[in-house]
Amino acid sequence: MKLLILNGPNLNMLGVREPDIYGNTTYDALCEMLQIHAAQIGVQIECRQSNHEGVLVDLIQQAYGTTDGIVINPGAYTHTSIALLDALKAVGLPAVEVHISDPDQREAFRKVSFIRNACVKTIKGHGIAGYSEAMDFLKRYIENDS
């Protein structure tokens, strides 16, 4: 089983950007942690990040036929991107939306998620552990759907 772990804008700045909200773990350390977790649960992952909406759309489209599911933290695009929503719907892969913080506990504009409409689950406010939770969930979801 192969999962795409996709991160949107500013997530490459983990460990630097607002550590009181997002913690001190760097993006590279997050990817290393997820590779270890993937090996433990018997899945392959590809960790990708982009600050550019079109690149994220391309990565979602490239997952079609090569990937079994997507863990996506779209960052600020959560609240603005119909293009990411449409890409997720187009490929039809099970996806889990992840947020390190809980957007519902932050500014009002962060409470709207366009992405959620194409996801089988949302995990929010669990810190970076939410990514591992999403991987575990997707593995079970995909195995049960087969």
**The predicted structure's pLDDT at residue 67:** 98
Q: Which of 27, 77, 99, 131 is catalytic?
A: 99
Residue 146 has pLDDT above 80, yes or no: no
The residue that leads in pLDDT, 145 or 142, is 142
pLDDT tens-place string over residues 3-27: 999 999 999 999 998 888 888 999 9
pLDDT tens-place string over residues 34-83: 999 999 999 999 999 999 999 999 999 999 999 999 999 999 999 999 99
pLDDT tens-place string over residues 98-137: 999 888 877 777 778 999 999 999 999 999 999 999 999 9
Residues 6 or more apart whose Cβ sits within 8 Å of residue 75: 7, 8, 9, 10, 11
Residue 64 in tokens? 């079609």
Q: Which of 22, 27, 77, 131 is catalytic?
A: 22
**SS3 state at 36:** helix
Return the number of other C-beta atoms located less than 10 Å from residue 111's C-beta.
11
Distance, CA of 115 to CA of 89 (rounded, Å): 9
Q: Which residues pair with 69 in a beta bridge?
A: 3
**The predicted structure's pLDDT at residue 125:** 94
22 is catalytic: yes
Residues 6 or more apart whose Cβ sits within 8 Å of residue 110: 78, 79, 103, 104
Task: Specify the DSSP element, H or E, that contains 4.
Answer: strand 2-7
**The predicted structure's pLDDT at residue 104:** 80
**The predicted structure's pLDDT at residue 7:** 98
**SS3 state at 74:** coil
Q: Which fold has domain 2-145?
A: Rossmann fold (3.40.50)
**The predicted structure's pLDDT at residue 77:** 96
99 is catalytic: yes
Domain ranges of the chain: 2-145
Distance, CA of 58 to CA of 30 (rounded, Å): 23
